Amino acid sequence: MKPHPATKIIHHDYVAPEGFSAFPAAVHKASTVVFDNVAAMRNGCWNDKSGYTYGLHGTPTSFILEARLAAIEEGQFCLLAPSGLAAIAIVSLGLLKSGDDVLIADNVYSPNRELGQWLARDFGISARYYPPLIGDGIRDLIQDNTKLIWAETPGSVSMEVPDIPALCRAAHERGVLLALDNTWSAGIAFKSFAHGADISMQALTKYQSGGSDVLMGALITRDKEVHHRLELARMRLGMGVGMDDVYLVLRSLPSLSLRFAAHDAHARKIANWLNSRPEISRVLHPAFPDCPGHAIWERDFTGAGGLFSVLFAPHFSEAQVDQFIDNLELFKIGYSWGGANSLCLPYRMNEIRSDWQEQGQLVRFNIGLEDVADLIADIEQSLLRMQA
Ligand SMILES: *Cc1c(COP(=O)(O)O)cnc(C)c1O
């Protein structure tokens, strides 16, 4: 058979020589995965990582990222999801069924709370919210049908640092799993498994990507059975990741700990400066004594992220604080964080927290990688303009 050019541009003769070697992982893209023969196709198992069946479940590119992410916290297994929130949804949908109960910390990422409300309203799952600093007291809330506890350390807006080991001890006494949103520490400053958590969820969208250009999440576990339940949920929900995005995270990963240390150092300098300002009544940064759960941060963490909040003195109105944010030049207004750009956002805490007691407007800063003195000068000029 002499193929037509239209066939030859699909079935070419060229075979790249063996022996190519370079540092970057190859970007293997696939929907279809090709089997050697029918027997291999029939024997292929979708979740066997020693083989490949379909692009949705991963290619060598995503398997490499999963292995590298699992290593950060000395986990055993890792699953990628198309966003941090997708990873959260895989946990709740994979581990809960109707009739079950889930306990969700009041300080979790708001869409996680919202997911709980949806499960309660439409799926016959009871979702109850607990004060993040409850510690051992969680014992009194665990029911026979409680299957999962969600925690976040620190809460990424209000910044309380929960006692994860105490929550895990109470959960494990009753056979309950604890899933931790460990995005703030990027798995670097807080080790989920060493402190007892069963699942470490991380939004790779933040520090692991570092580029403000990717949405992705990871679920890391040490327990094969838990991993398998999550894997089933991800497969049933059809959640896959794009390999170009995986490549971007792989490209950023070698500098993760350096970037994280820089975000930490910059943020502490700026938080320290804010702490001395009369306009600011409280700095909610886990490394500062005013932050609820600071002693637990000191006990359990080896560093801090670049994200923290402040409370303005109560006499500043919402309009004035909004003006402060509008007048910032280097700090931009936007969600998400963990990239090179500094960001600033106001939160109406009474709308997201029924138990919020603090006075004064809450403003959250994501400290990027710009020069610290320039960032401080920007905040200072805007504080002065706010009062002019
Ligand atoms: C951003 C974020 C998420 C969600 O990640 P996405 O990739 O944006 O869906 C979850 N938890 C925390 C703490 C986050 O900051």
**Which pLDDT value is given to residue 143?**
98
CA distance 20 to 203: 33
Could you tell me which of 223, 219, 222 has the C-alpha nearest to residue 203?
219
Helices 60-72 and 243-252, interaxial angle, to 10°?
Answer: 40
What is the residue type of 310? V
84 CA → ligand 1 middle, Å: 5
329: pLDDT strictly greater than 90: yes
Q: pLDDT-derived band of residue 48, with 50, 70 and 90 as boundaries? A: confident
Q: In 3-state terms, what secondary structure has residue 230?
A: helix
166 CA → ligand 1 middle, Å: 24
| pTM, entire model | 0.97
Atom of ligand 1 nearest to the CA of 203: 5
50: pLDDT strictly greater than 90: no
Mean of the pLDDT values across residues 84-98? 98
pLDDT digits (tens, 9 = 90+) for 162-203: 999 999 999 999 999 999 999 999 999 999 999 999 999 999
3-class DSSP string for 300-339: HCCCCCCEEEEEECCCCCHHHHHHHHHCCCCCECCCCCCC
Atom of ligand 1 nearest to the CA of 205: 7
Q: Report yes or no: 293 and 162 within 8 Å, Cβ to Cβ.
A: yes
Mean of the pLDDT values across residues 151-171? 97
Residues with CB under 6 A from ligand 1: 83-85, 109, 152, 156, 181, 183, 203, 205-206, 215, 217, 336
**Which pLDDT value is given to residue 49?**
83
Q: pLDDT-derived band of residue 388, with 50, 70 and 90 as boundaries? A: confident
Looking at the chain, the whole-number percentage of residues with pLDDT higher than 70 is 100
215 CA → ligand 1 middle, Å: 9
- Which residue of 80, 90, 159, 181 sits with most ligand 1 atoms within 8 Å of its CB, as the best mutation to test the pocket? 181
**Which pLDDT value is given to residue 13?**
85
Q: In 3-state terms, what secondary structure has residue 12?
A: coil
In the chain, the domains with their CATH numbers are 38-253 (3.40.640.10), 255-387 (3.90.1150.10)
